[in-house]
């Protein structure tokens, strides 16, 4: 499983990170080095082993489905680069 | 008058309580020290002079009234990862430009509730990703330590490099830090300070910028083991805002510090002997074993067979979780925004401009290992290996081991801009080889300064404990500290 230039571009898009063409090969090299390093895990026998979901035995805490925090629209958009009437503003998505 | 910045956190707290000096005096002493040192060490990103003085005045009023908290008036530095209302919180990143939180992290809320004073926000590797504090948007932090007769600037370790450098250089009485793969313990070892990563769930992660949620834990970096116990007592505790925080009483950790190790069984894992490890690390490890034995501990050789797989498994799990956590930085809700032709274009341009190279690399790896067709081969396999790593520890604890002694790092601090590490990310990742197993298993681990290398640079030992048994780590850590009896004060050049 080796990462080529095409895969770097695809992963860059999936990760929503613009990868400059001049950087594609460098990224491919770095990603392959890391994937080569983690490939050692292939030698571990994991048959019948449960994948870890929590480091500690704990049950998922539940609470009543009711509003416990709210009414902070102004504070929520306070750090937005662009907002109007307490809405986040983004480039047009639907024509 | 004595230099108030040279006191331990505990001595500062005690002196304030006894009215030997005021919080305004000690706070001003630290602010003066920061002003003089920061241009050279770059430990602080922002210094909150006015807020610090206001908090100090409020503490002095409480101390006079005799109703101060357990840290009343003691000045602390806060890692830039912790949300603090209205003050710089950017996780050392460009992408959070201008972000000023509207809320306070639970941990800092606890510290202020106990009377601590905030001096400012501490530099760190971007999003806590790094082992040298060179990935910060705000530039590298410099280690206050230098090799004997050498002028070379050294890294303080990472990602909590600002915290470690500030504590070591007397720029705060103690600092908050976080540890995902070794980010508290490795910088502590590089700077001759004490760093504890508590058990996963001991400290609330609410309001702490997330890197890898199943591994992240906060803890203190301090100058002594006693200070570490005091500060963790304040930071820890159940929080309903963090569903992984554990509802369990927090002991008075400081009460455990002088408990000793008599009758405790200390495990020595053979897998922590690494090929190519400097002799001085091995010598220090053996010395640590002898110190514990001399105080009545029983030493037992143990095996943790999956140790070598912890780092590769980490470099699947941590990037996978980071790619998911970092999805929120999109140029819409906060921070940097770079305009684009479409919304996707805006996302991609914003994230390319806002994230540094290491963060982008990890985001890419995480996206790759979680992508269709690779999820089982990488992520699920890594989580299975993680189960095996945890079972290794469970087995030795069930066999009567109370704590495990290992080296903290495979070397002392290295030079800023180390070419080999810059050229090969894996080489940098190997810094965490002894610490990362602890995060993978959710256990507590403490790094205590215990010796020096040939160049006079600090070296640390690590103790690993059972879940929620930080008390044994403080007790055994104190024995190492007391037995070493070394002054870990860097020679002041800044």
Answer yes or no: do A56 and B308 touch at CB < 8 A: no
Which B residues 318-337 touch A at CB under 8 Å? 323, 327, 330-337
Beta bridge partners of B177: B219
| Sheet with B44-47: strands ordered across | B44-47, B117-122, B75-79, B175-179, B217-222, B194-197, B445-452, B458-465, B403-407, B265-269, B298-302
Average pLDDT (B12-17) is 98
Sign (positive or negative) of CA dihedral B271, B275, B280, B286? positive
Number of domains in chain A: 1
Average pLDDT (B238-267) is 96
**How big is the CA angle at B281 (ends B278 and B286), to the nearest 5 degrees?**
130
Give the helix ranges, DSSP H, for B116-194: 161-168, 185-191
User: Which residues of B fall within a CB distance of 8 Å from A3?
Assistant: 368
Q: Does A62 touch chain B (CB under 8 A)?
A: no
Buried b (16+ CB within 10 A) or exposed e, B188-197: bbbbbbbbbb
Q: Does A22 touch chain B (CB under 8 A)?
A: no
With tokens 């035995």, the residue in question is: A57
Residues A52-85: pLDDT tens digits?
989 988 888 888 999 888 899 999 999 999 999 9
CA gap B338, B349 in Å, rounded: 6
Hey, of A3, A38, A50, A93, which one would you mutate to test binding to chain B, going by the most B CBs within 10 A of its CB? Answer: A38
Considering chain B, what percentage of its residues have pLDDT values greater than 70? Answer: 100
With tokens 């979901």, the residue in question is: A53
State whether residue A1 is helix, strand or coil. coil
CA gap A54, A58 in Å, rounded: 8
- B194: its two tokens: 């004490």
Q: Among A8, A16, A52, select the one facing B390 at the smallest CB separation.
A: A52
User: What's residue A60's pLDDT?
Assistant: 82
- B1, pLDDT greater than 80: no
User: What residue numbers bound the domain in which A14 lies?
Assistant: 5-42
Determine, yes or no, domain membership for A14: yes
Q: Are B394 and B172 in contact (CB under 8 A)?
A: no
Considering chain B, what percentage of its residues have pLDDT values greater than 90? Answer: 95
Q: Does B99 touch chain A (CB under 8 A)?
A: yes
Which B residues 38-97 touch A at CB under 8 Å? none
Residues 6+ apart with CB under 8 A from B373: none
pLDDT band at residue B422 under the 50/70/90 scheme: confident
Q: Are A47 and B319 in contact (CB under 8 A)?
A: no
User: Which residues of A fall within a CB distance of 8 Å from B365?
Assistant: 31, 34-35
Residues 6+ apart with CB under 8 A from B234: B70, B71, B110, B111, B114, B116
Q: Among A1, A20, A30, select the one facing B425 at the smallest CB separation.
A: A30
Buried b (16+ CB within 10 A) or exposed e, B328-351: ebbbbbbbbbbebeebeebbbbbb
The DSSP H or E segment spanning B306 is: none
Q: Does B372 touch chain A (CB under 8 A)?
A: no
User: What's residue A1's pLDDT?
Assistant: 56
CA gap B107, B168 in Å, rounded: 22
Buried b (16+ CB within 10 A) or exposed e, B290-325: ebbeebebbeeebebebbebbbbbbbbbbbbbbbbb
Answer yes or no: do A58 and B246 touch at CB < 8 A: yes
Give the helix ranges, DSSP H, for B146-278: 161-168, 185-191, 225-235
User: Which residues of A fall within a CB distance of 8 Å from B310?
Assistant: none
What chain B residue is nearest to A79 in terms of C-alpha separation? Answer: B334
Residues 6+ apart with CB under 8 A from A53: B383
Q: Are B170 and B424 in contact (CB under 8 A)?
A: no
Q: Are B467 and B444 in contact (CB under 8 A)?
A: yes
Residues B166-184: pLDDT tens digits?
999 999 999 999 999 999 9
Answer yes or no: do B424 and A61 touch at CB < 8 A: no
- Asked about B59 being catalytic, the answer comes back as no
Answer yes or no: do B340 and A76 touch at CB < 8 A: no
Answer yes or no: do B387 and A52 touch at CB < 8 A: yes
How far is the CA of B241 from the CAs of A32, A70, B108, B196, B275, in angstroms? 39, 14, 14, 23, 44
Q: Among A27, A56, A88, select the one facing B364 at the smallest CB separation.
A: A27
- B145: its two tokens: 């330590």
Give the helix ranges, DSSP H, for B119-184: 161-168
Query: Chain B: nearest CA to A82, how far in angstroms?
Result: 7
Q: Among A17, A41, A81, select the one facing B364 at the smallest CB separation.
A: A17
With tokens 């903290």, the residue in question is: B408
Q: Does A79 touch chain B (CB under 8 A)?
A: yes
Q: Does A93 touch chain B (CB under 8 A)?
A: yes
Determine, yes or no, domain membership for A53: no
Average pLDDT (B11-32) is 98
User: What's residue B366's pLDDT?
Assistant: 98
Q: Does B287 touch chain A (CB under 8 A)?
A: no
Residues A22-42: pLDDT tens digits?
999 999 999 999 999 999 999
Determine, yes or no, domain membership for A27: yes
Q: Does A11 touch chain B (CB under 8 A)?
A: yes
Considering chain A, what percentage of its residues have pLDDT values greater than 90? Answer: 77
What chain B residue is nearest to A35 in terms of C-alpha separation? Answer: B365
Query: Chain B: nearest CA to A84, how far in angstroms?
Result: 12
Residues B76-108: pLDDT tens digits?
999 999 999 999 999 999 999 999 999 999 999
Answer yes or no: do B346 and A19 touch at CB < 8 A: no
- B272: its two tokens: 């922590």
Residue A31 burial class via C-beta count within 10 angstroms: exposed 0-12, middle 13-18, buried 19 and up: buried
- Report the DSSP pairing between strands B194-197 and B217-222: antiparallel
User: Which residues of B fall within a CB distance of 8 Å from A55?
Assistant: 200, 214, 390, 440-442
Residues 6+ apart with CB under 8 A from B133: B123, B124, B125, B140, B141, B155, B156, B157, B158, B159, B161, B162, B165, B187
User: Which residues of A fall within a CB distance of 8 Å from B199?
Assistant: 56
* Residue B35: closest CA among B51, B46, B23, B22: B46
CA gap B468, B471 in Å, rounded: 8
Of B105, B160, B165, B183, which one is the catalytic site residue? B183
User: Which residues of B fall within a CB distance of 8 Å from A58?
Assistant: 201, 244, 246
Average pLDDT (B197-209) is 98
Number of A–B residue contacts, CB under 8 Å? 164
Residues B434-445: pLDDT tens digits?
999 999 999 999
State whether residue B180 is helix, strand or coil. coil
Determine, yes or no, domain membership for A23: yes
Of B23, B105, B131, B159, which one is the catalytic site residue? B159
Q: Where are the domains of chain B?
A: 4-261+414-434+466-484
Sign (positive or negative) of CA dihedral A41, A42, A48, A51? positive
- A64: its two tokens: 């009543």
Buried b (16+ CB within 10 A) or exposed e, B133-165: bbbbbbebbbbbbbbeeeeeebbbbbbbbbbbb
Which B residues 187-216 touch A at CB under 8 Å? 199-201, 214
Choose between B422 and B205: higher pLDDT: B205
Choose between B419 and B329: higher pLDDT: B329
Sign (positive or negative) of CA dihedral B355, B195, B431, B119? positive
Beta bridge partners of B405: B463
CA gap B90, B399 in Å, rounded: 45
Interface pTM, i.e. ipTM: 0.95
Of B23, B79, B121, B234, which one is the catalytic site residue? B79
Residues B103-162: pLDDT tens digits?
999 999 999 999 999 999 999 999 999 999 999 999 999 999 999 999 999 999 999 999
Average pLDDT of chain B?
97
Answer yes or no: do A78 and B102 touch at CB < 8 A: yes
Answer yes or no: do A54 and B316 touch at CB < 8 A: no
Phi-psi region of B299 (alpha: psi -120 to 50; beta: other; left: phi over 0): beta
- Asked about B234 being catalytic, the answer comes back as no
Q: Give me the CATH code for the B4-261+414-434+466-484 domain, please.
A: 3.90.1300.10
The reported pTM is 0.97
């Amino acid at each position: 499983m080796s990462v080529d230039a095409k895969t770097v571009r695809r992963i860059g898009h999936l990760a929503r990170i613009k990868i400059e063409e001049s950087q594609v090969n460098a990224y491919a090299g770095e990603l392959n080095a890391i994937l080569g390093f983690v490939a050692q895990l292939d030698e571990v026998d994991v048959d019948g082993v449960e994948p870890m979901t929590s480091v500690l035995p704990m049950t998922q805490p539940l609470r009543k489905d009711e509003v416990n925090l709210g009414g902070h629209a102004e504070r929520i958009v306070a750090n937005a680069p662009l907002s109007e009437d307490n809405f986040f503003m983004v480039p047009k998505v639907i024509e | 008058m004595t230099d108030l910045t040279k006191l331990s956190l505990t001595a500062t707290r005690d002196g304030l309580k006894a009215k030997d000096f005021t919080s305004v005096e000690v706070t001003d002493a630290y602010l003066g020290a920061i002003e003089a040192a920061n241009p050279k060490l770059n430990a602080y990103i922002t210094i909150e002079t006015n807020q610090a003085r206001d908090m100090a005045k409020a503490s002095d009023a409480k101390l006079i009234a005799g109703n101060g908290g357990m840290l009343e008036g003691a000045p602390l530095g806060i890692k830039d990862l912790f949300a603090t209302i209205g003050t710089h919180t950017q996780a050392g990143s460009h992408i959070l430009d201008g972000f000023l939180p509207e809320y306070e992290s639970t941990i800092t809320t606890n510290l202020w509730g106990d009377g601590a004073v905030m001096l400012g926000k501490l530099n760190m590797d971007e999003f806590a990703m790094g082992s040298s504090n060179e990935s910060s948007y705000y530039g590298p932090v410099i280690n206050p330590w230098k090799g004997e007769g050498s002028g070379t600037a050294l890294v303080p370790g990472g990602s909590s490099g600002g915290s470690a450098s500030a504590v070591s250089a007397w720029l705060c009485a103690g600092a908050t830090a976080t540890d995902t793969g070794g980010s508290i313990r490795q910088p502590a070892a590089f700077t001759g300070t004490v760093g504890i990563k508590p058990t996963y769930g001991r400290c609330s992660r609410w309001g702490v910028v997330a890197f890898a949620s199943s591994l992240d834990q906060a803890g203190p970096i301090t100058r002594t083991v006693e200070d570490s116990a005091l500060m963790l007592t304040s930071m820890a505790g159940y929080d309903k805002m963090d569903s992984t925080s554990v509802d369990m009483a927090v002991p008075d950790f400081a009460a455990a510090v002088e408990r000793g190790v008599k009758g405790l069984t200390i495990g020595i894992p053979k897998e922590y002997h690494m090929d190519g490890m400097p002799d001085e690390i091995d010598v220090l490890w053996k010395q640590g074993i002898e110190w514990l034995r001399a105080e009545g501990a029983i030493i037992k050789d143990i095996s943790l067979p999956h140790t070598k797989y912890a780092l590769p498994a980490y470099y699947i799990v941590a990037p996978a979780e980071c790619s998911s956590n970092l999805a929120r930085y999109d140029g819409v809700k906060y921070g940097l925004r770079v305009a684009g032709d479409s919304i996707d274009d805006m996302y991609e341009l914003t994230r390319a401009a806002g994230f540094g190279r290491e963060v982008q690399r990890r985001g890419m790896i995480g996206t790759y290992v979680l992508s269709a067709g690779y999820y089982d081969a990488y992520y699920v396999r890594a989580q299975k290996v993680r189960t095996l790593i945890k079972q290794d520890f469970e087995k030795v604890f069930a066999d009567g081991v109370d704590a495990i002694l290992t080296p903290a790092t495979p070397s002392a601090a290295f030079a800023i801009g180390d070419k080999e590490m810059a050229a090969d990310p894996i080489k940098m990742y190997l810094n965490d080889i002894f610490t990362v197993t602890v995060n993978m298993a959710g256990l507590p681990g403490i790094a205590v300064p215990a010796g020096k290398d040939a160049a006079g640079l600090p070296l640390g030992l690590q103790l690993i404990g059972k879940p929620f048994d930080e008390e044994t780590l403080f007790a055994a850590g104190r024995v190492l500290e007391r037995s070493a009896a070394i002054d870990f004060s860097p020679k002041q050049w800044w």
